[in-house]
Amino acid sequence: MRIGIIAIQGDVEEHVIALEQTLAERGEEGEVVKIKHRGIVSSCDAVVIPGGESTTIGRLMEREGIFSEIKEAAWEEKPILGTCAGMVLLAKEGDEEVAKTGQPLLGLMDIKVKRNAFGRQRESFEVLLKMSIFDEPFHAVFIRAPTITYAADSVDVLATLNGQIVAAKQRNILALSFHPELTEDRRIHHYFLDLGK
Ligand code: GLN
Selected catalytic residue, list 14, 15, 44, 181: 181
Coil/strand/helix, residue 175: strand
At 120, the pLDDT band (50, 70, 90 cuts) reads: low
Ligand 1: which of 84, 96, 142, 179 to mutate, judged by most atoms within 8 Å of the beta carbon?
Answer: 84
pTM, 2 dp: 0.96
Question: Up-side HSE of residue 76: CA atoms within 13 Å toward CB?
Answer: 14
| Rg, the chain, Cα only | 15
Q: Is the shortest distance between the CB of 20 and ligand 1 below 6 Å?
A: no
Residues near 17 by Cβ (< 8 Å), separated by ≥ 6?
Answer: 181
Asked if 54 contacts 11 with a C-beta cutoff of 8 angstroms, the reply is no
Rounded-to-integer distance, Cα 54 and Cα 84, Å = 8
End-to-end CA distance of the chain: 12
- pLDDT score of 46: 98
Provide the domain count of the chain.
1
State the CATH number of the domain containing residue 51: 3.40.50.880
Report the atom number in ligand 1 closest to the C-alpha of 179: 9
Question: pLDDT per residue over 75-86, tens digit each?
Answer: 999 999 999 999
Looking at residue 197, what is its pLDDT? 77
Q: Which domain holds residue 92?
A: 2-194
pLDDT at 122: 72
Mean pLDDT of the region 91-120: 93
